[in-house]
Chains A and B, each alone.
With several copies, the nearest count.
Chain A
Amino acid sequence: MKPSVLAKKIAFFVGIVLVWQALDSANVWPDKIFPSPLEVGESLWYGASNGTLFYGIGTSLWRLAIGLSIAIAGGITLGVFMARVETVNQTIGSIVLGLQSIPSVAWSPLAIVWFGLTDAGVIFVTVAGAIFSVTINTYTGVKNINPDYIAAAQNMGAKGGQLITKVLVPAAFPYMISGFKQGWAFAWRGVIGAELLFSFLGLGFLLNVGRQLSDVSQVIAMMLVIMIIGIVIDGLIFKRLEDKVMSRWGLR
């Protein structure tokens, strides 16, 4: 980033905070509706110093990790089968497209009934939110594999499981990465949504506590935390992975 651009950005963010603080001081809106940046900062500091914030982040990330892993493993399996077995595609495939259009929070009531207010319930919602994105992208990826790759591998003796793990999955990887990226976004939405509705630990719970205590500074503080985690995971993990795979596969 050029120094001038950086300066502009810093000035902008400082400006936002100042205007925010000024708006607050001018008492345009009451504090309980529109807290000052100071109060939000205090909320964060308080959560950090007594550990609840980190415990919440840890819980949410842990659920995200488990849910996303299950979604990726399941989505790849389902996607590969859909792409390779026409009957599976014609039958299960049409359901997958439908399930994909159900918002992940809409799974929460079912998750609560089936799993109770447990981690399993939150993880179920996360998986339900993410798995179909991974499935559809894997399917598209496998369908778009250069058929010569498959022929070459078969010619060199690959079949069955080896063909899947050594050729189909890596060949479809660039598409699958998009699936992972989309899946992660939906998984993160699923975790937060489920935690809000289950009101059972995690960042979504802390958000809900803020809401129930009418503590807007806590609500905004938690939203900031959720946003920053989103940016970091997206930028550090998925963006990088995507860039690397795209250039390695010669697609960029």
Chain B
Amino acid sequence: LSSGQPESDKNQVRVVFFANVNHAVPIVGLENGEFAKELGSTAIKTRVVDSGPEVIEALFTKSADLGYLGPAPFVIGYVKSKTDDIKILSGAASGGASFVIQKDSTISTAADLDGKKIAAPFVGNTQDVSLRHYLAEHNLKPRESGGTVTVYNIANPEIYTIFAKGDIDAAWVPEPTATMLVEQLGGKRLFQEEDTWPDGKFSSVLLVGRTEFLEKHPDVVAKWVAANTNTVNWIKENPDKTESIFIDFYKKYTGKKLDENIIHDAFSHIQITSEPIQNSISIFAERAYGLGYLGHSGYNLDHIYYDVNNGTVGGTSWQN
């Protein structure tokens, strides 16, 4: 099983991330050469995927070494691996998800969601956990569990399509999809996800690594984390350039030209930060467990952090 992929050798690092605004750090850092500069002779191989589970699959099957993904899929993957196979290295973004309803919708409170059709990307995705937890909090159940709410777990571009067709009543989505639904399809942003969090802050993108790789190549990892932090700072200082880099990248990747205003607006809903916001990760884990995503016999998050300074794995908290 999972043979046939070459083990990453010393001179390369394979990284996966999404083509979302939340993933501005890897996108901008790769496009402006920050990562390449820091890593020197180590080659960088990248792959763009659509969902957290794909990042986990890539790491588990050793076809990637580092990845950017939301805290929920990370926690699910971590618990499933049972042997601390993946670790958090750093944060990359916070916030940046919204609950959007159709323009003429009468939804105003959670109770109104009874019998509605709501989309969120992929089961176990960060927005999916938030949505289902939100429903459960308000005593609503999805149809597959015998409830009344239809939850569609599909990719962001498709959420856009079916939102446009009016097939769904609402969507819990990350940026830039949320802003696109609002600006282009006339959707209403009912609330931002951070409004539902203590301190109005929650981690939305993490930089994680495969433990085996971290142990073998601490030097490469240290350089990557440094570049990650540098890029966070660069983005904070250069918001305009960040936006145009993102638009160029998106055009290159999908062939679609994004509206500048939308991207500008989308970025305004996100905080780019290298802090992983640890308490939000614990809360995500609790919520995911409540949804049955982490099995049914308890879970343990004692060793989820990697200590870059010491090059040791197995920290109980993040220190950078």
Contact = CB atoms under 8 A, between A and B. Distances in A.
B252 interface: no
A105 B231 CA distance: 41
Interface string B201-241: 00000000000000000000000000000000000000000
A196 to B, nearest CB: 12
B154 interface: yes
Interface stretch (B32-40, B75-83, B172-180, B242-250): B75-83
Contacts of B165: 116
Interface stretch (B58-66, B91-99, B186-194, B312-320): B58-66
A214 B76 contact: yes
Interface residues of B, number: 50
A42 B296 CA distance: 9
Interface stretch (B49-57, B263-271, B277-285, B299-307): B49-57
A201 to B, nearest CB: 6
B16 to A, nearest CB: 10
B53 A46 contact: no
B128 to A, nearest CB: 9
Contacts of A120: 3-4
Contact of B145 (A52, A113, A117): A52
A149 interface: no
Given A51-B146, A118-B4, A199-B153, A215 B80 contact: yes
B77 A214 contact: yes
A33 B60 contact: yes
A112 interface: yes
A211 interface: yes
Nearest to B147: A55
Contact of A199 (B145, B152, B295): B152
Given A31-B82, A116-B58, A212 B153 contact: yes
A227 interface: no
A198 B150 CA distance: 13
Most buried by B among A46, A51, A199: A199
Given A30-B83, A115-B61, A212 B145 contact: no
A110 B44 CA distance: 28
Nearest to A201: B144
Most buried by A among B53, B63, B82: B53
10 contacts: A32-B60, A33-B60, A115-B1, A115-B61, A120-B3, A199-B123, A212-B124, A213-B123, A214-B80, A214-B157
